[in-house]
Amino acid sequence: MTAEPAGPDELDYLSFVDYAVSEAGARLPEIDADALRLVLTLHRVTSAIVYDLESAVHRPRGLSWPGFRVLFVLWIAGPLESKRVAELSGMSRAAVSALVNTLERDGLVSRRQADHDRRAVQLSLTDTGRETIVGDYHAHNEREQAWATTLDPAERAQLVGLLEKLMAGAATAAAKRRF
Amino acid sequence: MTAEPAGPDELDYLSFVDYAVSEAGARLPEIDADALRLVLTLHRVTSAIVYDLESAVHRPRGLSWPGFRVLFVLWIAGPLESKRVAELSGMSRAAVSALVNTLERDGLVSRRQADHDRRAVQLSLTDTGRETIVGDYHAHNEREQAWATTLDPAERAQLVGLLEKLMAGAATAAAKRRF
DNA sequence: CCATAACAATCAAACCTTTGATTAGTTGTG
DNA sequence: CACAACTAATCAAAGGTTTGATTGTTATGG
């Protein structure tokens, strides 16, 4: 009464994947249903984790998810040109520029002209920015642990390995990448 | 000369993960570096795939990634109340409402009042919407295949299994979820 | 040495997202 | 039956994203 192939009325966010794979496969037999399942599952798991982290950790502390990513990159690889922040965080240069307006207004990041190239802008964390990202990242990591402990260490390593392989394949293939 | 632990100047989107894990682990020994690596890798791989699909497949055909997701849900589980679309696509009801303004303007989706509840709105694909999503999904799936073929069938199954386990753990744990 | 191409950042317009009100309709209970 | 509690959708304000144009600076080849 519950393990039946659910009809469209009993679906939820989780079971939608199975339903979509069987429906799409039945309607378009030429597609690769395994690839559909892989990408759909990957997207849903990642979205759930990001939603959890953003709403439970970052928003309550006054940061957006993109804001967190920029502060994290600056904290790890610190002071950097705007262009490098875009590369390392996976955002466009325009998005970094717009986002830094907010972070600068909030006193977390400062801009200054680079010495060697007057076109470039050097971004640094302010003292407040550094305190913010350290505290924020502690809370972030606790939540990451909560997610990660669902898997035992061997499974975690396996998952990371498979994801890295997937990513490496993309570099080889002609995937459209920002960098 | 290349496999050295890269300094901040030689980093790129891919190698940033290793650098971040070692830097964060060194600065904050109390954190769980494995969990950091897992979430960071998962997010970067997924973002790369979504960016590829959106920019190579959907935008050129006039759809945004969120627009694609809504059309896909309606195509698979078709006509649905707005609330159900939000649940199945993982968006907020407000986001669906705003997005459907665009999709309706473009003639892909139609709204009508539900019979059984005058508050509810029933969403359906128009004929154009159905043609659009079928053609679009064919192109989408070809790209999905290109990504998926990096892994052999056993690896793909393993990856999906690990992701499902991760997701199931979240339902159990107190992860903050939309649904 | 100077014109042209390349490049860094920002701007602009259009779109999507979030949270928190608001509006309208439904349901349950005394 | 009336009223309170709840629910569906939309609105509003603030923020973030994209692509493509613009502005200013640097590099290059004739």
Three-state SS letters, chain B: CCCCCCCCCCCCCCCHHHHHHHHHHHHCCCCCHHHHHHHHHHHHHHHHHHHHHHHHHHHHHCCCHHHHHHHHHHHHHCCEEHHHHHHHHCCCHHHHHHHHHHHHHCCCEEEEECCCCCCCEEEEECHHHHHHHHHHHHHHHHHHHHHHCCCCHHHHHHHHHHHHHHHHHHHHCCCCCCC
CATH fold of A63-171: Arc Repressor Mutant, subunit A (1.10.10)
Give pLDDT, residue B2.
39
State the DSSP H helix or E strand holding residue A109, giving kind and residue range, or none if neither. Answer: strand A109-113
Q: Average pLDDT across each block of 10 residues of chain B; the chain has 179 residues. List them in order.
A: 58 91 94 95 94 92 95 93 94 95 95 90 95 94 92 94 89 56
Band (A1; pLDDT cuts 50, 70, 90): very low
Q: Which residues of B touch A49 (CB under 8 A)?
A: 39, 42-43, 170
Test the B interface: residue of A14, A42, A152 with most B CBs within 10 Å: A42
CA dihedral A54→A60→A64→A69, nearest 10 degrees, is -70
Question: Are the C-beta atoms of B129 and B107 separated by less than 8 Å?
Answer: yes
Q: Which residues of B touch A56 (CB under 8 A)?
A: 175-176
Calpha distance A164→B42 (Å, rounded): 9
Give pLDDT, residue B1.
45
Q: How far is the CA of A120 from the CAs of A74, A111, B4, B45, B165, in angstroms?
A: 16, 10, 28, 29, 45
Tell which CATH architecture fits domain B63-169: Orthogonal Bundle (1.10)
Nearest to A141 among B36, B77, B176 (CB): B36
Total residue count of chain B as it appears in this document: 179
Question: Are the C-beta atoms of A61 and A73 separated by less than 8 Å?
Answer: no
- Cβ–Cβ below 8 Å for A32 and B141: yes
Residue A64: strand pairing partners:
none
DSSP character at residue A3: S
Calpha distance A149→A139 (Å, rounded): 16
The mean per-residue pLDDT over the stretch A76-97 comes to 94
Calpha distance A59→A140 (Å, rounded): 11
Give pLDDT, residue A14.
86
Band (A52; pLDDT cuts 50, 70, 90): very high
Band (A173; pLDDT cuts 50, 70, 90): low
Give pLDDT, residue A170.
73
Q: Which residues of A touch B173 (CB under 8 A)?
A: 146-147, 150
Whether the CB of B176 is less than 7 Å away from nucleic strand C comes out as no
Whether the CB of A156 is less than 7 Å away from nucleic strand C comes out as no
Whether the CB of A82 is less than 7 Å away from nucleic strand C comes out as yes
Q: Distance between the two ends of chain A, CA-based, in angstroms?
A: 50
Whether the CB of B98 is less than 7 Å away from nucleic strand C comes out as yes
- Cβ–Cβ below 8 Å for A76 and B24: yes
Domain ranges of chain A: 8-61, 63-171
Give pLDDT, residue A4.
47
DSSP character at residue A111: E
Question: Residue B84 corresponds to which tokens in the numbers above?
Answer: 């159900």
Residue of chain A with shortest Cα separation from B89: A13
- Cβ–Cβ below 8 Å for B23 and A87: no
Sign of the Cα torsion B134, B136, B137, B139 reads positive
Band (A3; pLDDT cuts 50, 70, 90): very low
User: Mutual orientation of helices A65-77 and A93-105 as an angle, nearest 10°?
Assistant: 90
